[in-house]
Amino acid sequence: MENFMFQAPTKIIFGKGTENQTGEEIKKFGKKVLLHYGEGSIKKYGIYDRVMGSLKKEGLEVIELGGVQPNPRLSMVRKGVSLCRENNIDFILAVGGGSAIDSAKAIGIGVPYSGDVWDFYAKKAKIRAALPIGAVLTIPAAGSEVSCDSVITNEDGWYKRSADNEAIFPRFSILNPELTFTLSAKQTAIGIADIMSHVFERYFTQVQNVELTDRLAEATLKTLINNAGIVLENPNDYNARAEIMWCGSIAHNNMLGTGRINDWASHGIEHELSAIYDIAHGEGLSIVFPAWMKYVYKSNLPRFAQYANRVWNIDIDFNNIEKTAIDGINRLESFFREIGLATRLSDLDITDDRFDEMANKAVENGPIGFFKKLDKNDILNIFKIAL
């Protein structure tokens, strides 16, 4: 096990009706709030009215910025930075999924900075301060409600990049599984794939003697698998929705990554796909991860066999451990198809004409990944497997 530092400072408020506590939490930080959200679903399903009612009850002044897109855009972030400065905003509240929360975090770090906020994502500047943010989560997927990460897409060149710093941990996140009842089967499945991928990035490590976090990761994966079918059959099953929502937070608050060297190559590869083709991040990962696994599994056959056995209940064939590893990868791919996700680039009509461009962007700062270091040719090969 590696040395580690772990902190999970975000206050989690979990359960039915908890969005009604939003105003009470925000008033601890100030009086002027930027309410940041997506393209209308929170108004359609009444979430907006309940949150706004809670803010008004506490006498908070609210400035709104809606219209956040999936794969949130830098142009929206810049607009939010200007709005916060013009209105002397004290606190940013994101209502939605990872896109709204990531955009809110980006706005938060942009406000006190004298340069352009993209500097943080281009690694030209270090985050020193940020406006405090909070979240009301409506889509379990990205885990941004508990993380110190933010991912933004720059329309100039279609670069999708991340920034991270402890200053952008949400001060609180409200998780009411009832708010996810209206998610479509596809949105639910995309979220499940995203959550599973956060576990995989930590689980597939070359570090030995990490039994506790191995078991925690495997339990998280099995919980997602077990509840996926329930919630897709009955979208209003509160208990199944609650399990998936809590898995999403556990998967990305980095508890599962403690003592390990995590990978993150698959996320780096997928970011190039969703930046250029604007596909859902989770569905991009349902394509990239099986392809990555097929390319790297020989780097640690025992770990892949353990994964197949403990997560998918596949007996280990000690005479042919490679077959066990491959069976586990194939089972994941089948699961993604069963819940309605693409597992090939061709499923989304993506061809090989921009593979070279995406591979170049992925390694512009050097090889990626730690389970197996990947250079441009490796990434091209993974794209070919995924095709």
CB neighbour burial string for 178-212, b if at least 16 within 10 angstroms, e if fewer: bbbeebeeebbbbbbbbbbbbbbbbbbbeeeebee
Query: Any bridge partners for residue 296, and if so which?
Result: none
Biggest distance spanned by C-alpha atoms of the chain: 69
* Dihedrals phi, psi of 65, to nearest 5 degrees: -140, 95
Pure H helices in 149-207: 185-203
Q: Are residues 217 and 360 in the same domain?
A: yes
Q: Are residues 231 and 189 in the same domain?
A: yes
- 358: CB partners within 8 A, 6+ apart: 269, 272, 273, 276, 379, 383
**What is the per-residue pLDDT for 46?**
94
Percent of the chain with pLDDT strictly greater than 90:
99
Taking alpha carbons only, the member of 270, 291, 280 closest to residue 186 is: 280
Does pTM top 0.85 for this prediction?
Answer: yes
Q: Per the domain annotation, does 294 fall within a domain? A: yes
Q: Per the domain annotation, does 307 fall within a domain? A: yes
Q: Per the domain annotation, does 244 fall within a domain? A: yes
| Residues 235 and 188 sit within 8 Å (Cβ to Cβ) | yes
Q: Per the domain annotation, does 209 fall within a domain? A: yes
**What is the per-residue pLDDT for 333?**
98
Q: Are residues 166 and 291 in the same domain?
A: no
Residue type, 210: V
Q: How far apart are CA 88 and CA 86, in angstroms?
A: 6
* Dihedrals phi, psi of 194, to nearest 5 degrees: -60, -50
The pLDDT-based confidence of 40 (bands split at 50, 70, 90) is confident
128-162 pLDDT, tens digit per residue, is: 999 999 999 999 999 999 999 999 999 999 999 99
How many structural domains does the chain have? Answer: 2
Pure H helices in the chain: 22-26, 41-44, 47-57, 74-87, 98-110, 118-121, 185-203, 211-233, 238-250, 265-277, 281-296, 301-312, 321-338, 355-362, 376-386
CATH of the domain at 78: 3.40.50.1970
Q: Per the domain annotation, does 173 fall within a domain? A: yes
What is the span of the domain harbouring residue 209? 183-386
82-97 pLDDT, tens digit per residue, is: 999 999 999 999 999 9
| Domain end residue (candidates: 152, 179, 206) | 179
pLDDT averaged over every residue in the chain: 97
The pLDDT-based confidence of 39 (bands split at 50, 70, 90) is confident
**What is the per-residue pLDDT for 168?**
97
Residue type, 38: G
* Dihedrals phi, psi of 272, to nearest 5 degrees: -70, -35
Q: Are residues 129 and 234 in the same domain?
A: no
Q: How far apart are CA 264 and CA 248, in angstroms?
A: 17
**What is the per-residue pLDDT for 100?**
98
**What is the per-residue pLDDT for 336?**
98
Q: Per the domain annotation, does 3 fall within a domain? A: no
CATH of the domain at 209: 1.20.1090.10
**In this model, does residue 338 exceed pLDDT 90?**
yes
Q: Are residues 153 and 91 in the same domain?
A: yes
Q: Per the domain annotation, does 6 fall within a domain? A: no
Q: Are residues 100 and 207 in the same domain?
A: no
Q: Per the domain annotation, does 174 fall within a domain? A: yes
Q: Are residues 162 and 211 in the same domain?
A: no
Q: At what angle do helices 265-277 and 376-386 cross, to 10 degrees?
A: 70
280-321 pLDDT, tens digit per residue, is: 999 999 999 999 999 999 999 999 999 999 999 999 999 999
Q: Are residues 166 and 283 in the same domain?
A: no
| Domain end residue (candidates: 163, 179, 195) | 179
Cα angle value 137/266/169 (rounded, 5°): 35
Residue type, 310: R
Q: Are residues 231 and 165 in the same domain?
A: no
| Domain end residue (candidates: 179, 195, 213) | 179
Please tell me the number of Cα atoms within 13 Å of 110 on its side-chain side: 26
52-111 pLDDT, tens digit per residue, is: 999 999 999 999 999 999 999 999 999 999 999 999 999 999 999 999 999 999 999 999
Q: Are residues 326 and 219 in the same domain?
A: yes
Q: Are residues 298 and 370 in the same domain?
A: yes
CA distances from 15 to 18, 98, 194, 349 (A): 6, 19, 22, 40
Q: Are residues 233 and 341 in the same domain?
A: yes
